[in-house]
Amino acid sequence: GDGDGDPLRAPRESMPYDVVIVGGGPAGLASAIRLRQLSASRGVDLSVCVLEKGSEVGSHVLSGNVFDPKALEELLSHENDGEGIDWAEALGESQDSVATPVREDRFLVLTEGGGLAIPNALLPGQLHNGGNYIISLSKLTRYLGELAESAGVEVYPGFAADEVLYGPSGSVRGVATKDVGIGKDGLPKDTFERGVELLGRQTLFAEGARGSCSERLMERFDLRGGRGADAQHYGLGIKEVWEVPEEKFRSGLVQHTLGWPLQTSVTDRVYGGSFLYHQEPNLVVCGLVVGLDYENPYLNPYKEFQRWKTHPSIRDHLEGGTCVQYGARVLNEGGYHSLPRLTFPGGMLLGCSAGFLNAVKIKGSHCAIKSGVVAAEAVYDALAEGDGAEERAVAATGAIDPDEECKEVTEYEERMEKSWVYDELREVRNCHAAFSKWGVGGGLAYAGLAAHVLKGREPWTIRHGASDSESTRPASEFDAINYPAPDGVLTFDLLTNLQRAGTYHEDDQPSHLRIRPGGDDVPRDVSVRVYAAPETRFCPAGVYEYVEGDELVINAQNCIHCKCCSVKMPGGYIDWTVPEGGGGPQYQVM
């Protein structure tokens, strides 16, 4: 570090690019690839850098996933001089992962011992999966990472964007990576390295749902207020990947369920359901999504998932198999009415950081990729068109023109509003709120109505009301839930399962999960006293513990970066910041 002064405040080296992309997921990589495609085809070269906090591209990507390939096909149609790439074949060759065509779509409403299947004809069109593929999104993202690198994108896994950088006029001019080599005591160690500033003429934020920089940007630029948007609502998706014996394997089967265990009566308002897909060669990927606007603080999403597996319709798929991977991540459920304004001076929000996931269709990757493509095209037009564009490009000059203003590329949002992404979201815009108001029975009825008749054209808007954290009701209004003990074969205790996420963090660093200033008493006085410490139940990694009754212990090392605590914490007492890059889960097949 710097010898003559506080090393923690030493000036940082800066690396300039035309475009800096925060987050190496499908949205971020799609935009990086598209920018380089345009550089090649339109002649003005733009330099692109992608920052990814996971140790490898794909390490932090988790998704169901039944994939609608239309946006990816659009992106890849520009490859090979317009001849395109067969993405499924390329994915297989590059990652040894099979994109499995959907052959059978089942929708069940479960009761404790049985259930009934809903005929496909009654389901909204958006839930039909013909032409879609069961994939591992982590594997697809790894493939996109390779494509990006060969297109000349500089991809840096293992680096976490910690701080958004602003210019004198308040526009975003880039991000700084986190300082590394700081001990638990907050002091620099021998290995201390100051973070680096990545400066961009435009900075694109593609951090996934509840991105740490994205949330701060939304506050700073009042992006929700600017559009009159509702607060975002989230679900917690918890997932396992199983290898199953040949006789159990049914290639291309897609099964979704509602009902037991989350909803046991028609008026139950806990939003959520399960997914279970059979992916070649012998994988069953399955999980439970629990809406985080649930009221009962005794609800334990992880244990609900474990007991769901014991249902006769579910256990049949898994028995005799081995669980090979485990993980969890929040996903957006707010849909159209929770979308913020997408742009601000110097940058924009992509993918789930903005919130394009279609919670009724249970799909968001195609929207994320499309948003990446649209963003790239808008940014390229803004930066590489017009006289003198070539001379202004960092790719050519190696520096950012200090006199150039960091524009707000509003074209991006205009084009998104006209795209099929917004069309899809508008169609189902009231569905989630209908569940919250009327429970699963009313919600399903509304979804059916919306899908077949109203298609989003209804003149009313059902508003979302309170934030997910505010929806929790005091523990005194409920009884504790008695969950069955795990058997270690079909169901597992949390810490055993957590090993399957491969998560770890450098031991000797300050906790990245920080109690907000002034919030020191909130864990004991609010969370424990009023809500019986729900964080000890909703965290799918066992991070939060209370010892001696009310003393909080944060096991930050266990964290799998799902962001649930940043959403559901009573009193919102946790500020989710990035740990040293390279830490967190090591998802391979999620």
Would you tell me which residues interact with another protein (CB under 8 A)? 13, 15, 55-56, 59, 96, 154, 156, 158-159, 177, 180-181, 189-191, 193, 196, 198, 322, 324, 488, 499-500, 502, 504, 586, 588-589
* Smallest separation, CB 96 to another protein (Å): 7
Nearer to another protein among residue 177 and residue 430 (C-beta):
177
* Smallest separation, CB 330 to another protein (Å): 23
Nearer to another protein among residue 192 and residue 298 (C-beta):
192
* Smallest separation, CB 159 to another protein (Å): 6
Name, in order, each residue with C-beta under 8 angstroms of 142's C-beta and a sequence gap of 6 or more. Answer: 56, 57, 58, 94, 95
Distance of CA 67 to the CA centre of its chain: 15
Name, in order, each residue with C-beta under 8 angstroms of 489's C-beta and a sequence gap of 6 or more. Answer: none
* Smallest separation, CB 92 to another protein (Å): 14
Nearer to another protein among residue 135 and residue 198 (C-beta):
198
Cα–Cα distance for residue pair 105/361, rounded to 1 Å: 13
Name, in order, each residue with C-beta under 8 angstroms of 125's C-beta and a sequence gap of 6 or more. Answer: 451
Q: Under a CB-based contact definition with an 8 Å cutoff, are residues 328 and 560 in contact?
A: yes
Nearer to another protein among residue 255 and residue 325 (C-beta):
325
Residue 517 CB neighbour total at 10 angstroms: 7
Residue 117 CB neighbour total at 10 angstroms: 12
Nearer to another protein among residue 55 and residue 141 (C-beta):
55
The pairing of beta strand 347-349 with beta strand 343-344: antiparallel
| Structure tokens, 195 | 């973070």
Nearer to another protein among residue 115 and residue 585 (C-beta):
585
* Smallest separation, CB 185 to another protein (Å): 16
* Smallest separation, CB 404 to another protein (Å): 23
Residue 422 CB neighbour total at 10 angstroms: 18
Q: Under a CB-based contact definition with an 8 Å cutoff, are residues 54 and 60 in contact?
A: yes
DSSP tag of 198: E
Q: Under a CB-based contact definition with an 8 Å cutoff, are residues 39 and 376 in contact?
A: no
| Structure tokens, 444 | 């399903």
* Smallest separation, CB 417 to another protein (Å): 36
DSSP per position, 444-467: HHHHHHIIIIITT--S------S-
Nearer to another protein among residue 142 and residue 370 (C-beta):
142
* Smallest separation, CB 195 to another protein (Å): 9
Nearer to another protein among residue 116 and residue 495 (C-beta):
495
Nearer to another protein among residue 226 and residue 510 (C-beta):
510
* Smallest separation, CB 198 to another protein (Å): 8
DSSP tag of 178: P
Nearer to another protein among residue 297 and residue 584 (C-beta):
584
Q: Under a CB-based contact definition with an 8 Å cutoff, are residues 12 and 197 in contact?
A: yes
Q: Under a CB-based contact definition with an 8 Å cutoff, are residues 34 and 377 in contact?
A: yes
* Smallest separation, CB 189 to another protein (Å): 8
* Smallest separation, CB 326 to another protein (Å): 10
* Smallest separation, CB 572 to another protein (Å): 31
What are the Cα distances from residue 451, in Å, to 127, 444, 447? 10, 10, 6
Nearer to another protein among residue 13 and residue 83 (C-beta):
13
**In this structure, what are the phi and psi dihedrals at residue 55, rounded to the nearest 5 degrees?**
-65, -25
Would you mind telling me the total number of residues written for the chain in this entry? 590
Nearer to another protein among residue 17 and residue 221 (C-beta):
17
Cα–Cα distance for residue pair 329/141, rounded to 1 Å: 16
Q: Under a CB-based contact definition with an 8 Å cutoff, are residues 102 and 133 in contact?
A: yes
Name, in order, each residue with C-beta under 8 angstroms of 251's C-beta and a sequence gap of 6 or more. Answer: 100, 103, 278, 279, 280
Residue written as token pair 């815009």: 429
Q: Helices 137-150 and 87-95: crossing angle, nearest 10°? A: 90
* Smallest separation, CB 88 to another protein (Å): 18
- Can you list the alpha helix ranges (DSSP code H) found in 263-355? 301-308, 312-318, 351-354
Nearer to another protein among residue 216 and residue 500 (C-beta):
500
Q: Helices 365-384 and 26-42: crossing angle, nearest 10°? A: 40
Q: What angle do CA 235, 431, 229 make, to 5 degrees?
A: 75
Nearer to another protein among residue 530 and residue 589 (C-beta):
589
Cα–Cα distance for residue pair 567/330, rounded to 1 Å: 9
* Smallest separation, CB 193 to another protein (Å): 5
